[in-house]
Every structure is written in C-alpha cells, then in structure tokens.
C-alpha cells in the first residue's frame, strides 16, 4: 500500500517538475502573453495532459534549424552574404533609393531586390503544371524541388516520369518534401525515384546531427528551381486536386508564379537552407545569377519561418497593410488573423484604404470557415470588405498593395503561417505584372459574394457562439 502511494507521489512530483521545466521555457521564449498564460494555466492544472502536448506542439522556435543555419554551415551564410552584396548590375535599385517599406523587407530576410527578372503569372493548376513540366524537360544540370504536399497520383507520376528521364540524361534531381503534408505519399514512389538516382529528403526528420522532435512545425513552401535560372513559387502543390478536374471535386482556384532571372538565386538559397537541415549531402549549384532576356522586373524572394530572429511573416503582412495608401487586396483560404493583423486591417480601412479580403465559400477546413464569421462585425464596421469566392475552393495566397507591388507565395493569414510554418513569397514591383494581378483579382472578385454584418448577426445564437468558441482555437488552426 505504502509502495503504491510512494510510486504515485513520485509520478505526480515528476509531472509537476516537468511542468515547471515547460513553464521555465515558456517564460524565456513566449511571444504572446495570452498564449503563455494559457499554457501556464494548463500545465499547472492538468500537467498529465499539458506536458505531453507542450512537448509535441508547444515550441515556438525551430531550434535545430537555427543551429544548422547560423552555426553548423558557414558556407550557406557566406552564400547569403554574397547574394546580399550583389553588384548594382543585377540589383533593382541601390539600397538607399528603395522606399522604406521595401527596404525593410530586404533587411528582414537578408536578400536584395534584384533587377533583370521576368515573371509570368500562372492561374490555376493546368497552366502551372504545364510550365513546370516544360522547364523540367529543358533542365540541363539540376532540378531542385521542395513541396509541402507530393502525391503519387497522375500529376505525381508525370513528375516522376520526367525526373527519371532527366536523371538518365545526367541531370541531378534533389527533392525535399514535408512529412506531414505528404503523409500519404507512396513509399514505392519514393523508392523508385531514389533508385533512378534522385537525392530525396523529408523535412520533418532532419538529419542525425540536428534531429529534434518538433512535430508542430511544417515546411509549407512550394518551389522548384531549374539550373539556378528558372524558378517557381506559389500556392500549388504536386497533386491532382490542384487541377480541380476530379468528378467529385469542386473547381480549384490557385495562383503560381514563374520567375526567370537573378531572383531565382533567392529561391535556391531558401531551398538550400531547408535541404541543409534535412540532409548532410551538399549539391553543387550555380551561384552566378544572370538577367533574363525577356524582362527587367524587380523581384525580392522573401522566405519566412520559425527559425527567424523576428516573426518575419507577421512583419511582412503588417508592413504591407500599414504602408498601403489606396488599396490592399489579400486572398487567403485560411482567414484567422491575430489581433495585430486585424487591428492593422481596421486602421487601414479607417484611413480610407480599400481593404478587401477574398476567402473561399467552400473550405477544406470547416473550423477555419466558421472562425472567419467571427471577424465579420468588426471588419464591416471598419469598412473592410470580406468576399467569399463562390465557384469552388480558392487556395491562392496573393497580396496587392496599391499599384506599387504585389506578392505571390505560400503564406496564409493564420497563426500557423505567421509563427509555425516555413513559407516563401515573391514580391515584385513590375508595373505590368502588378496590372496582371489586378485584372486577375478583379475577375475573382466578380465571382465572389460580399459579406455583411447580417451574415453573422442574423444567424442563430448557437451558430454565433460556435464561431466565437472556434475563434479561441485560432492559435491552433
């Protein structure tokens, strides 16, 4: 009897010691007081539940990646320094002549705006995959791929077929995928591609030197680089659903961007940092950026993630919103903003900026769809227009600021993108490209319904309570 009591006492004491260790870590590293208090209360009140949860999802910094980036590989740091100090022959404007809002983006992620690029706007999966297939077929030296979701379906098998053919021609292939996003990816698909000579790594595991049990962090980036000269970035993963052609599937609306020119070096650097975390193998890549023959567009590649010194994704959006003069239009499938982003949107609308948020009517997450309703009243009262895209599921992540610049990438307006995911965005100031994005978004808005306060206030009390309750889960959505 006394032995059982001693065992229970030791177990309880151990749990509370573990809880104290978690609280110590929280107090040293927390980013929001609300989140820190919630964790502390849970750890003190229900340590047997909260301690395992904190180990799984409680960290807010991707520690091993930080070491791999800043301490473990000086070569990558040198490459970043070299790219940051590129001569004015490929830089869009001297650093001192950039507007403050664009200059600060360069400082945040240590990459320059580069000139001599050509960007092509790719609307939806069909145009994107065709461009991907064509450029991979034209690759002569290497192909770098990094995607959150890779599937062994028709698109996946077409990709694998091209890669196997290029490997047979002597082209190197380096594939990085996320364990969580690609959880259903066939092991056979991977083994066959590896047997053909591809180098493959998963982001979640990390390498033996830096492995950490950090399941809550995801690599949400979607990029491809061919020979260091052509690159792709945007919202489209490698799967049939991004075509929206399945019999039982709603139409899929997404946006991607093809880049040719020096900015591709920025994509390549982001890929290499991620690969450095996941594998000890080192590819030989082309680090001699050359201007495109087809354009003189200014482009900045802006990678963000939980290994950054600052909350770079949040700061990016805040920078865009706070500096908008006439309009800011944002599209996102997941609209669950924190109070900083929501306050900035309200202030922008109150100072006369045309603020429009385009979100899907048909969502792949009902919790996110319901949570979005809870923002309606404060949005409408400030003059923010929230539009729900009607024809099908809208997955694009696009920002349009005035007529001055636009951004296409992988980041959503939710806590996961702001603080937990590795994301990447391409920013361009090209007048022609900005015009293309404006026309695209006007067409999307023409197929969207403007929401009103009544869409929330006139619903049942139970629905409104549900919306507010789900919104409490915003940090986890």
Which one from 135, 274, 397, 444 is the annotated catalytic residue?
Answer: 397
* Token pair of 77 as six digits: 């740091």
**Which is catalytic among the residues 118, 222, 256, 298?**
222
Identify the active-site residue in 402, 436, 447, 455: 402
Q: What b-and-e string marks burial along 459-470, b requiring 16 or more CB atoms within 10 Å of the CB?
A: eeeeebebbeeb
pLDDT given at position 409: 97
Which portions of the chain are predicted below pLDDT 70? 1-5, 7, 30-35, 48, 55-98, 205-216, 245-249, 473-477
Task: Say whether 294 is catalytic.
Answer: no
Known active-site residue 402: yes
Cα 32 to chain center, whole Å?
21
287: number of Cβ within 10 Å = 13
Nearest to 120 by CA among 396, 477, 433: 433
Torsion of CA 317, 321, 326, 328, to 10 degrees: 40
13: CB partners within 8 A, 6+ apart: none
Annotated catalytic, 397?
yes
Q: 181: helix, coil or strand?
A: coil
**From 135, 227, 254, 414, active-site residue:** 227
What pLDDT, on a 0 to 100 scale, did the predictor assign at position 91? 47
Q: Name the residue among 291, 300, 284, 233 with its Cα closest to residue 84.
A: 300
Q: Which residue among 118, 160, 166, 220 is the active-site one? A: 220
Which tokens hold the place of 227? 């020979």
Characterise 234 by phi-psi region: left (phi > 0), alpha (psi -120 to 50), beta (else).
Answer: left
> pLDDT per residue over 426-468, tens digit each?
999 999 999 999 999 999 999 999 998 888 888 888 878 877 7
What homologous superfamily does CATH list for 312-476? Answer: Endonuclease Chain A (3.30.870.10)
Instruction: Note the pLDDT of residue 100.
Output: 80
The size of the chain, in residues, is 477
**Partners of 408 in beta bridges:** 398, 426
Q: Which residue has the tokens 């009390």?
A: 461
Query: Does 63-299 match 312-476 in CATH topology?
Result: yes
Query: How does strand 172-177 pair with strand 297-304?
Result: unpaired
Is 63-299 in CATH node 3.30.930.10?
Answer: no
Is there a catalytic annotation at residue 442? no
For 256, phi then psi, to 5°, come to -135, 170
Q: Cβ(91)–Cβ(267) under 8 Å?
A: no
What are the residue ranges spanned by the domains of the chain?
2-54, 63-299, 312-476
- Tell me the C-alpha to C-alpha distance, in Å, between residue 185 and each of 156, 371, 381: 9, 30, 45
């Amino acid at each position: 009897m006394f032995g059982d009591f001693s065992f229970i006492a030791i177990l309880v004491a151990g749990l509370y010691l573990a809880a104290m260790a978690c609280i110590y870590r929280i107090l040293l590293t927390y980013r929001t007081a609300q989140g820190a208090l919630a964790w502390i209360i849970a750890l003190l009140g229900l340590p047997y539940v909260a301690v395992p949860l904190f180990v799984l999802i409680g960290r807010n910094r991707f520690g091993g990646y930080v070491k791999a980036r800043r301490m473990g590989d000086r070569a990558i740091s040198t490459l970043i320094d070299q790219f940051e100090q590129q001569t004015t022959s490929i830089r869009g404007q001297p650093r001192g002549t950039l507007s403050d809002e664009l200059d600060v983006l360069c400082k945040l992620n240590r990459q320059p705006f580069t000139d001599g690029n050509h960007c092509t706007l790719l609307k939806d999966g069909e145009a994107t995959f065709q461009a991907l297939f064509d450029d991979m077929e034209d690759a002569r030296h290497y192909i770098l791929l990094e995607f959150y979701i890779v599937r062994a379906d028709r698109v996946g098998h077409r990709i694998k077929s091209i890669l196997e053919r290029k490997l047979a021609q002597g082209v190197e292939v380096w594939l990085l995928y996320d364990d969580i996003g690609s959880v259903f990816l066939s092991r056979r698909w991977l083994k066959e591609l590896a047997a053909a000579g591809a180098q493959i790594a998963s982001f979640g595991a990390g390498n033996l030197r830096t492995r950490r049990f950090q399941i809550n962090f995801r690599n949400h980036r979607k990029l491809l680089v061919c020979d260091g000269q052509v690159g792709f970035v945007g919202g489209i993963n490698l799967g049939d659903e991004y075509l929206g052609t399945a019999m039982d599937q709603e139409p899929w609306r997404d946006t991607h961007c093809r880049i040719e020119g020096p900015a591709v070096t920025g994509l390549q650097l982001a890929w290499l940092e991620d690969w450095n975390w996941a594998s000890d193998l080192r590819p030989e890549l082309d680090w001699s950026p050359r201007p495109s023959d087809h354009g003189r567009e200014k482009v900045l590649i802006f990678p963000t993630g939980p290994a950054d010194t600052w909350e770079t994704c949040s700061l990016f959006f805040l920078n865009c919103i706070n500096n908008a003069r006439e309009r800011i239009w944002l599209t996102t499938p997941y609209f669950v903003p924190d109070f900083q982003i929501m306050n900035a949107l309200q202030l922008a609308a109150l100072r006369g900026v045309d603020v429009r948020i385009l979100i899907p009517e048909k969502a792949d997450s009902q919790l996110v769809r319901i949570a979005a309703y809870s923002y309606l009243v404060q949005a409408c009262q400030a003059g923010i227009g929230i539009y729900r895209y009607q024809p099908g599921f809208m997955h694009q992540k696009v920002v349009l600021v005035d007529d001055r610049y636009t951004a296409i990438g992988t980041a959503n307006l939710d806590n996961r993108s702001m603080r937990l995911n590795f994301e990447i965005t391409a920013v361009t100031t090209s007048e022609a490209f900005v015009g293309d994005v404006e026309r695209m978004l006007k067409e999307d808005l023409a197929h969207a319904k403007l929401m009103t306060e009544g869409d929330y206030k006139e619903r049942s009390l139970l629905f409104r309570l549900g919306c507010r309750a789900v919104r409490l889960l915003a940090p986890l959505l």
